[in-house]
Amino acid sequence: MNTRPALVVLVVMVALIAPITTVTAQSDIAVGFGDSQSTVTQGDVATIDLQLRNTEEADLRVRSSDRSFRATLRVRDGDNDGTVRVRFNTFRATSDDRGPTFVATDAADDVETISSSYEGSGDVLDSGRYNLIVSTAETSVASKLYLEEPGDAGGSNTTVVAPETPLPRVTTDVADSTTSLNIDGEANVSTAATGDHIRTRFSVPGLGGIVDADPPVRNFVFAANSSPGARTTHTMSISPNESVSVHSMTIDYHVGSSSDVADVSKISQSDIKTLGIDTTGDGYIDRSELLSIQNIRTESNGRLTVTFDQSIDINANDSFFASYIVRNPNVTGSHDVGVTLYGENETVREEGIVLYGPAGQGTLGYGVDLRIKSVDQRTEAIAPLATLKSVYDSDANDLVAEVNTSELKPGEYEISLSVDETAPETLPRTELTERVTVAEPEVALEDPSIGSSPRLVIDGDTNLAPSNSLIVRVEAMEINGAISQIQNCVAIVESDGSINCEFNLEKSTEDFDIEVTVERRGTVIAGPVEYN
């Protein structure tokens, strides 16, 4: 049953000789919920919709039915729209180290956690009923939130969409992959034209709370195995905002007050696995500089200095990567790290973090690993999420990965998601992979009908995704005449990949030499094709 505040207005009208008079009673403070009850998957993010009438502030209490979780919040309606939406991360709620459990959806509003406690033992909040009460000094209203177990993982599905295509609402389950096997056992793959976006859905419920944070793989330094004390590969990336010619580099794990630093003391040249520059932004090294290493100096306090026998030129906004084998300290959580590039005339220094423990395991953290890799290249991507963005669709329980193919070279790619044994117990373990081919955009034009009619119809088929806009240009020169004309038409790619444009040449089409080209964002992708 929905509980909504009612605003009662008393109007008294006196229809006598005197003028009409209206009297309005003072409005009372009222609060409520957008829904009397709601359900969300364990580990996901619930949105609690609060309604405030004639007040800018209210308290929200959250209590599990077994009292193992309790929280009291103060919410403020900063933009006076009568609504405050609170995001409740049911994964973060069990630990103070995972970031804020409650935040406001609208930046203008504010959510303050007055108190919060968890007395359970799970990695995420237990399934079951959670009682919600929003109140002021004058009134209070109750609602219920149910957390349900994630259940099993489903399949995966890949579609190709035009740029800026909004994320659709999905009402059916992702049951099977679009990547199937043919009779010969070879994978039948989807094809995306360069410039379109690959959109892959992985049906894995309960990931919403984990992926609500910045992926650890995008940190300044990423540990392939983030377990405390593990000997593993660290990958550092730095992107100077100005060009620099580097003759040496220092990676310093002893930044700030912490004495727990990565052990770099035994690093030799063979332990440096990658050193180079990604100039295209696809996550792969375009120019290796491993042979430029002249000397390596290590210190017991976590400082590593590499000197080069010749300067390494790094252009502005290029990404400079180094991967090397070290031993993690016996700690968990976020730790500072700094990198200094020493140039001929300038010095570039940046600081960031490296994440140890469960939070840093996998590219998305907590044992969840998402990546895209080229099937054609022998080497692994140094930055597996460089071209990939992800968002969690809580309505469908899908992790949605989107790739802008403009940042990829033509070829075959795999997009994969895995949830391993280090993930929270409630999450289903799974490995899902989709395969897709990136190809140059193409348009095949059909021969138009040339005759006595001035009407010229251009039809064609393209490998571009539906809803793309193309410019079809017709240049018509009158045979043995003086008339020359250029006409443009905007063609929208249909769901079957077809395009269509009509032109009026005002004279018989057979009287013209006709040339047709097709452009996409200023680039010719078909033609010029001559007719007649």
Assigned domain for 242 exists? yes
pLDDT of residue 29: 86
Which among 415, 439, 463 is the end of a domain? 439
Exposed / middle / buried, residue 236 (Cβ in 10 Å: 0-12, 13-18, 19+): buried
CA 423 to chain centre: 20
Q: Residue 127 and residue 43: Cα distance in Å, rounded?
A: 9
Place of tokens 């000789």: 17
Rounding to the nearest 10 degrees, give the CA dihedral for residues 289, 291, 297, 302.
40
What pLDDT is attached to residue 177?
Answer: 45
Residues 193 and 293 in one domain: no
419 contacts 427 by C-beta, under 8 angstroms: yes
One domain for residues 204 and 223: no
- What are phi and psi for residue 429, nearest 5 degrees? -80, 135
Domain, as residue range, for 68: 30-148
- At position 414, the amino acid (one-letter code) is E
CB contact at 8 A, 354 and 302: no
Question: How would residue 379 be classed by pLDDT, with cut points 50, 70 and 90?
Answer: confident
Mean pLDDT, rounded, for 289-316: 94
Residue 105 identity (one-letter amino acid): T
Q: Which residues of 292-312 are buried (b: 16+ CB within 10 A; e: fewer)?
A: beeebebeeebbbbbebeeeb
Average pLDDT of span 293-313? 94
pLDDT tens string 107-124 = 999 999 999 999 988 889
Note whether 129 and 92 are same-domain residues. Answer: yes
**Predicted local confidence at residue 532, as pLDDT:** 75
* pLDDT(378) > 80: no
Q: How confident is the model at residue 353 (pLDDT cuts 50, 70, 90)?
A: very high
Taking the model in full, what pTM does it have? 0.84
From residue 227, alpha-carbon distances to 137, 222, 273, 362 in Å are 49, 12, 20, 11
Task: Tell me: do 523 and 500 sit in the same domain.
Answer: yes
CB atoms within 10 A of CB 266: 11
pLDDT digits (tens, 9 = 90+) for 403-432: 999 999 999 999 999 999 999 999 999 999
Cα-to-chain-centroid distance, residue 88:
20
Strand-pairing partners, residue 63, are: 70, 131
Cβ(447)–Cβ(168) below 8 Å: no
Q: What is the mean pLDDT of residues 32-58?
A: 94
Task: Read off the CATH number of the domain in which 354 is found.
Answer: 2.60.40.1290
**Mean pLDDT (the chain, rounded):** 88
For residues 176 and 255, what is the distance between their CA atoms, to the nearest angstrom? 48
Together in a domain, 221 and 247: yes
Question: Rounded to an integer, what distance in angstroms lies between the CA atom of residue 204 and that of residue 214?
Answer: 19
Whether 395 and 410 share a structural domain: yes
- Over the stretch 94-107, which tens digit does the pLDDT of each residue have? 988 888 999 999 99
Whole-angstrom Cα distance, residue 82 to residue 51?
6
Residue 237 covered by a domain: yes
Task: Please name the residue that has the structure tokens 């310093």.
Answer: 252
pLDDT of residue 18: 35
Which pLDDT band, with edges at 50, 70 and 90, does 27 fall under? low
Q: 443, 499 in Cβ contact below 8 A?
A: yes
Name the pLDDT band for 86 (thresholds 50, 70, 90): very high
Distance CA 282, CA 268 (A): 29
Question: For residue 20, is pLDDT > 70?
Answer: no
367 and 477 in a single domain? The answer is no
pLDDT of residue 480: 79
Stretch 358-385: mean pLDDT? 92
**Domain termination site, one of 148, 166, 188:** 148
The closest alpha carbon to 510, from 432, 454, 430, belongs to 454
pLDDT recorded at residue 189 = 55
Across residues 517-531, what is the average pLDDT?
92
Of 350, 308, 305, 302, the residue nearest 326 (C-alpha): 302
23 domain residue, yes or no: no
Q: Which two tokens stand for residue 51?
A: 């309604």
CA distances from 471 to 110, 180, 484, 491, 521 (A): 47, 35, 19, 6, 8
Whether residue 464 is contained in a domain is answered as yes
Provide the CB-side half-sphere exposure for 349 (13 A, CA): 7
Residue 5 inside a domain? The answer is no
Give per-residue pLDDT as tens, 127-182.
999 999 999 988 999 999 999 999 999 999 999 999 988 876 444 445 444 444 33
Residues 432 and 477 in one domain: no
Give the model's pLDDT for residue 179: 45
| Whether residues 234 and 177 fall in one domain | no
d(C-alpha 356, C-alpha 331), whole Å: 7
CA gap 434, 449 in Å, rounded: 42
Last residue within a domain, chosen from 91, 126, 148: 148
List the CATH number of the domain containing 466. Answer: 2.60.40.10
385 and 407 Cβ atoms separated by less than 8 Å: no
Here the CATH number for the domain that contains residue 369 is 2.60.40.1220
Nearest-angstrom CA–CA distance, 29 and 136: 8
pLDDT given at position 10:
32
Same domain, 465 and 505: yes
Task: Please report the pLDDT score of residue 168 as a whole number.
Answer: 61
Assess if residue 24 is contained within a domain.
no
The average pLDDT across 64-92 equals: 94
Tokens of 356: 């140890």
**Same-domain status, 462 and 339:** no
User: Average pLDDT for residues 288-310, to the nearest whole number?
Assistant: 94
Q: Are 343 and 186 spatial neighbours (Cβ–Cβ below 8 Å)?
A: no
322 and 334 within one domain: yes
- Given phi > 0 = left and psi -120 to 50 = alpha, else beta, which region is 49? beta
Query: How many structural domains are present in the chain?
Result: 4
Whether 20 is in a domain gets the answer no
In this prediction, residue 2 carries a pLDDT of: 41
Q: Is residue 492 part of a domain?
A: yes
